[in-house]
Amino acid sequence: MPAISFQSVSKVYPAARRPGARPLQALDEVNFDIEEGEFFGLLGPNGAGKTTLISILAGLARPSSGSVKVHGFDVQADFVQARRHLGVVPQELVFDPFFTVREALVFQSGYFGLYHNDVWIDELLHGLGLADKAKANMRQLSGGMKRRVLVAQALVHKPPVIVLDEPTAGVDVELRQTLWHFVADLNRQGHTVLLTTHYLEEAEALCSRLAMLKQGRVIALERTSTLLNSATANVLYFKTDDPLPPALAALARVTGRIAELPANDTAEIERHLAALREAGVKVEDVEIRKADLEDVFIALMNGTATPAPVDPRSTAASVEVQA
């Protein structure tokens, strides 16, 4: 039995009350399962439908059609049982300003009928680096510390399924390391983890399988290793302060001083370098590397990759990527 099952999930928001407005299709027939014990990534640009899908999973929104199950319990018809099996860390920093950290966790335990939960609360506080903040009022905490408390609240009832919705957005490196060490340890113990993130290096390092959403539809559902292997090109990476010639600029991904050009073979790398020399572009720190998950993601979102039709009954759907 899957840990999470999305079955033909669609969500349509009614048209806004303004002339010419149309209904918004946030999700369109989303189908896939997440198996017990998986560390699964859900990726997509802003507006792709990730948060809508998580909201439906958490019971905060209703699908227009389709169903979602957690360990076999429908999140609408069997909400209580589904919610007991689920721990959700939301994007927003939501907290009660009148509680200390420990009081917030004790109060959260009460929602699930848990009493005398102190041993597990102590373990959460220690594992998430909150032990010295246990008696601090929530209002006194930094944004990163509040984020840690949200994680602890989601885990206070020891849910078998953990959902992390952009958990490291805007937080420091120390929190990321602490959080991923703790969550990876829970995953090794058998907990299922569903992660949404814009930090693709995190998804590449942590997730064994990925689904990519675009405009409410699943356009790729595949093992992370297979997606990476599908990228047939290498990448020519370099730094420069000069503008690229138009022919290369059309191919390049530029971030500040860093430029990255797809290169299928040695001959193409030589052509790129020759074109840069002819244009008088001075380059530094030249590297040749394999395409990473960000290259695959951008290729899929830009339509320069050709995903195979996604079969929700399968754990794999092949993708051919020209990075």
SS3 (DSSP) at 159: coil
pLDDT digits over 234-271, tens only? Answer: 888 899 999 999 989 888 888 889 998 888 788 888 99
| Res. 179 pLDDT band, cuts 50 70 90 | confident
User: Which CATH architecture is the domain 4-85+159-227 placed in?
Assistant: 3-Layer(aba) Sandwich (3.40)
Q: Residue 217: beta bridge partners?
A: 214
Kindly report the number of other CB atoms within 10 A of residue 202's CB atom.
18
The DSSP letter of residue 214 is E
SS3 (DSSP) at 82: helix
Q: Which tokens belong to 190?
A: 């058998």
- Distant-in-sequence contacts of 75-81, Cβ < 8 A, 24+ apart: none
Asked whether the predicted pLDDT for residue 212 surpasses 90, the reply is yes
pLDDT digits over 158-177, tens only? Answer: 999 999 988 877 677 877 88
Based on the number of CB atoms within 10 Å of its own CB, is 92 exposed (0-12), middle (13-18) or buried (19 or more)?
exposed
Calculate the CA 147 to chain-centre distance: 16
Give me the sign of the Cα torsion angle 122, 128, 134, 137: negative
The overall pTM is greater than 0.85: no
- The torsion angle over the Cα atoms of residues 13, 14, 17 and 18, rounded to 10 degrees, is 80
Asked whether the predicted pLDDT for residue 155 surpasses 50, the reply is yes
95, 149 contact by CB (below 8 A) = yes
- The torsion angle over the Cα atoms of residues 147, 148, 153 and 155, rounded to 10 degrees, is 120
Q: What percent of the chain has pLDDT over 70?
A: 91
Domain regions of the chain by residue span:
4-85+159-227, 234-290
Calculate the CA 230 to chain-centre distance: 20
Residue 162 Cα distances to 4, 27, 93, 107, angstroms: 11, 22, 17, 19
Task: Please tell me which residue, 226 or 19, carries the higher pLDDT value.
Answer: 226
Residue 69 Cα distances to 6, 58, 161, angstroms: 7, 10, 12
pLDDT digits over 65-81, tens only? Answer: 999 999 999 999 999 99
Distance CA 82, CA 69 (A): 7
Distance CA 40, CA 196 (A): 9
The reported pLDDT for the residue numbered 313 is 43
Compute and round to an integer the Cα radius of gyration of the chain: 22
Q: Which tokens belong to 278?
A: 């002819």
